[in-house]
Chain A
C-alpha cells in the first residue's frame, strides 16, 4: 500500500479505536467487560444491567457519534474555506455562521426554547447569504472581499445579539450557555439528521476534489486550466455552510477543530486534496471525539468542550509546525 493510503487507513483505525474507547469511558465507571457484555446481551435479548444499557445506548453512543459527525463537518468546512480563500486562517465560521447562529439563538430564547435550534440555523444561513451577496464581483465570489464581508456581517450580527442580551429581554443564562457550545444533550435524533445532511452535502464537496488542488493556484490559473471556479465556489461553500450551520444549531459554536484539522492533515499527508480531504475529516472527527470524551469524563463535572479542543489542538499544531517534515511526503 502507498504510504498516503496507509496514513488514511491508520487514521480510520484510530477513529474506530477512539469510538470504542469513548463508549467505554465516562463519569460513571463501567468496566470494559460490562460494556461489551451489556451491548452483547442487549442485542441477544438477554437480561442486562438497565442503567448501563441506558448510559451506553442513550447517552454515550449518540454523543460519541455526534462528536464524530460534528468534528468531520467542521474539518471539511475549515478545509474548504482555507482552500477557496487560499487563507491559512480560514475556519468554518468565516462567512458569518457563528454570529448568525448566535443572533438566531438569542431571538430563539426570546420566544421559546424550542425554536432556538431552527432559528440559529436560519440566521446562520442568513448571515452566509448576506456575505455571499456582498462578495459577488462580476458574477463571481471574490475571496478577498468575502473575508472582509464575513467579518463585517459577523460583527453586525453579534452586535445585534449583544444588543438583545443588553436589553435583558433575552434569557441571559440560556444564551450564554448556548454560546459556550457543547455536545451535552446529544440524542439519536441529532445523529440521524446530521448524518442525513452529511450524506447529502459531503458528496457535493467531495465531487470537486480534482478542482480543489487547481483552485490553490489562484482563480486565474484555475480558470486557464479549465476549472469553472464560479461553480466550484458556489456549490462547495454553500454545501459546507449549510451542513456547518446545521451542526452549529445543534451543538453551538465549537472552535479550533475547523482551523486546526486541515493544518494537521497537511503536515502529515501533504497538500493534495484527494488525500487531504479524507484525512482532515478523520482528524477532525478524532480530535472532537477525544476532546469531548475528556470534557465529559472530568469527575468534577463537565468542562466546556471548546476549552479542551484548544488544549488538545493547539499543542498538536505547534508540535507539527516545529517538526516541519513529519512524514516524508514523497510519492
Chain B
C-alpha cells in the first residue's frame, strides 16, 4: 500500500472520530431535567442547576461551612480531608485530594447533583464534572459582602432561604458591633505575612485585605498588583507597619524571628511587640471566607485595639 493511502485512511478515521466526539459533547448538553434554574457563580459563569438539590459534594472547607451555617449541612454527602468545622463536617466521607485537587471519579461516585468548589480545583476537573452533567458552583468570595451573596445563593437553591437570611443578619450585626466600637479610633498600618522569605502578602482585591480593612487596619500591601504579591523588605521598612499578622503556615513560632534582625528590628510593630502569630484555627478563620470570618474580623480588631475590647 502507498504511504499516501495509509495517511488518507488515518486522516479520514480521525475526522470521523472527532465528529463523533463533538456530537457526543452536544448530546451531553441536551439532557433534560425536571426543573432547572440558571445562577451566576463567583467566576461569573452561568451554571444550570437541577432542582431540588439532594446530594452536594463540597470540595472546599469554606463552602462546607457556608452550607452548615445556613442549615443546609444535611444535604452534604462528602467533603474534603481539610474540613474541620463544624464537628459533623469531619465525619462526612471524604473525596481524596491530590495536591489539593479532587479526583473526579470519587466525586462522581457520590452521585451528587451539585458540586461546590473554589479555584483551587483545576478548570479541567470543573469542566470534566460539568461534561458529566454535574453542575459545579465556584464559590470564592473575595470580600465579606461576597460571603453574604453566596449564602443567599446557596439558601435560594437549597430551599434554606430563611436560614441564609438569619445567618447573614447575625454576621452583619456581629461585625457592626465591632466596627462601631472602633469607628473613631485611628487606623493602623498592618502587614499580613503569608510567607516570610520572600514576603508573600495579601493584595488589594483579596478577602484578607477586606478583613484587615473592616477591622480598622490599613493593609500596607494594598497598592501592589495581584492577589498574592511579594513585598520587598525595603518597602516594608518604608511603610513601617504598626502591626504584623503572621500566618500559621510560615513556621514562625515567636517574635524572636523578627528581633535581632537589622531590618525587622527597626519596624514599629517589632519594636512595640505588636506581632501576632496565628495558631492553626486562627489561620483557618483568616483564609476560609464563610461564617467564621466574623471571628477573623474580631480577632484582628481585638489585636489592633485591645483597649476597646474586654477580655473574653
Contacts and interface: CB of A to CB of B under 8 A. Distances in A.
Say whether A and B bind each other. yes
Interface stretch (B52-60, B124-132, B194-202): B194-202
Interface in A33-91: 50-51, 54-55, 58-60
A184 B200 CA distance: 11
B234 interface: yes
A55 B249 contact: no
A27 interface: yes
A237 interface: no
B300 interface: no
Interface residues of B, number: 30
B232 A26 contact: yes
Nearest to B232: A27
A168 to B, nearest CB: 8
Interface stretch (B135-143, B148-156, B160-168, B219-227): B219-227
B198 A28 contact: no
Interface in B15-52: none
Given A28-B238, A301-B203, A185 B197 contact: yes
Contacts of B99: 165-166, 168, 172
B221 A301 contact: yes
Given A177-B195, A184-B197, A51 B225 contact: no
Interface string B95-119: 0011110000000000000000000
Contacts of A50: 266
A271 B168 CA distance: 72
A301 B234 contact: no
Given A51-B238, A177-B198, A59 B225 contact: no
Contacts of A304: 230
Contact of B198 (A60, A165, A171, A185): A185
A302 interface: yes
A161 to B, nearest CB: 13
A302 B224 CA distance: 9
Nearest to A302: B230
Interface in A1-39: 26-28
B238 A301 contact: no
Given A165-B99, A174-B195, A302-B198, A28 B237 contact: yes
Interface string A295-307: 0100011111000
A174 B100 CA distance: 15
Nearest to B224: A301
A105 to B, nearest CB: 12
Nearest to A296: B232
Residue from B221, B226, B234 having most chain A Cβ neighbours under 10 A: B234
B184 interface: no
A173 interface: yes
A145 to B, nearest CB: 34
B229 interface: yes
Nearest to B200: A177
Nearest to A112: B251
Nearest to A300: B225
Contacts of A300: 223-226, 229
Contact of A54 (B195, B221, B230, B237): B237
Contacts of A174: 195, 249, 251
Contact of B262 (A54, A60, A112, A165): A54
B251 A113 contact: yes
24 contacts: A26-B234, A28-B237, A28-B238, A54-B263, A54-B266, A55-B234, A55-B238, A58-B263, A59-B233, A59-B234, A59-B263, A60-B234, A166-B98, A172-B100, A174-B195, A184-B230, A184-B232, A300-B225, A300-B226, A300-B229, A301-B230, A301-B231, A302-B198, A304-B230
Given A174-B195, A184-B230, A184-B233, 5 more contacts: A26-B232, A51-B238, A59-B263, A166-B98, A301-B203
Interface of B: 97-100, 194-195, 197-200, 203, 221, 223-226, 229-235, 237-238, 249, 251, 262-263, 266
